[in-house]
Every structure is written in C-alpha cells, then in structure tokens.
Amino acid sequence: MTIVLASASRARRALLEAAGLEILVDPASVDEAAVKESLAGEGASPAEIAETLAALKGARISLRHPGLIVLGADQVLECEGRCFDKPADVDAARGQLRALRGRRHRLVSSVVALRDGQRLWHHTGEARLTMREFTDDFLENYLAAAGPSALESVGAYQLEGRGAQLFARVEGDYFTVLGLPLLPLLDFLRVQGALGR
C-alpha cells in the first residue's frame, strides 16, 4: 500500500522508507508562520501547534489521493517558553544554536493520518534534549561542516549526524527527535492493513 507523505522533509521520508513503506511525497503548501502566530496568540501549547499544523498539511493533500492514507506531520521546538522555527539562513542558525546552548529544550512531533479528507488517527510525541556548553569555535566548525542541512530542521541540527556532538543528554524517542513518532505510526498502519501483522 502506498502512503502519501504531505511533507518535503527528507528525514521523515527516509524514516518511512527505511521502515519498508512505499512513500509518495506530495508536500502541502501551508503558511506555517501565520498559523503558528495565530495559535500562539490564542495560547496554544507546542503540542497543539504541532498537531494543528500536521492536520492542516494532511487535509490539504488528502483529497488529491482518493483511498490512500495521507500523513501530515509537524515539529515544534520550545525552549523556556519560546518556540523556534527553521532558521532562514546561517546567521539565524547560529543565533538559534547560541540560544539553545547549555539549555534544555523540548521537541514536540505530531503526525496525523487522513483518508479521503477524514481524519483517522493522530499521535504526538515529545522528547527533551539538553545542549552542552560548546565553544564559539566549535559552533563555527559545526555550521561549516553541516552546510545547508543546518537550515532543514527546526533546531538547526540533525541528531542522526554531526548534530549529535551538540548534546549532553537526550530523553525520549529517537524517531520523535527526527520529526516523526514512528513506532506508534507503524502500529496504526498495521491496524489499517498497510503493514504485516
């Protein structure tokens, strides 16, 4: 069974394909900044923001793929009451990493499954990460080595690569850190007959 991923995230696609799923990528066009701003203004939690964005992405794509399961996903990074977005450029990535340095933050990842515009299931997972006190020289070397990939994630790091060196501690599900609560999703897909039981 083909699963549609309403996301351009290379990490999410790689996770799903590595788990043996046949994936069709059809990214949703959503003004995430406007939605986040509106939800934050209403006092929404990071989990509510992540779930709302995941559902919105999935809903935008679901009707294009009749009969198929469409997955919308989103991730929110929160540190000391401030939510972070993907950095726009290297200077923004540098600023984010300095703001996170020596602090603990939360990554909230949500996935919503839809079929024919109807919401079938959702799950939101949370991980807590503590960034170590690294030097400015280390930061510059990290950004140079990471290149454009530092701009692809909400935290300006990829835990599955060189970004692991930024951390002192990680608590929670590895897949949630990568942007997709994979194990609960696989359970759901087994129930739907998309995977063997």
Q: Active-site positions?
A: 74
Buried b (16+ CB within 10 A) or exposed e, 58-96: bbbbbeebeebbbbbbbbbbbbeeebbebbeebebbbeb
Tell me the backbone φ, ψ of residue 11, rounded to 5 degrees. Answer: -65, -45
Distance CA 177, CA 105 (A): 11
Helix/strand/coil for 90:
helix
Distance CA 13, CA 71 (A): 11
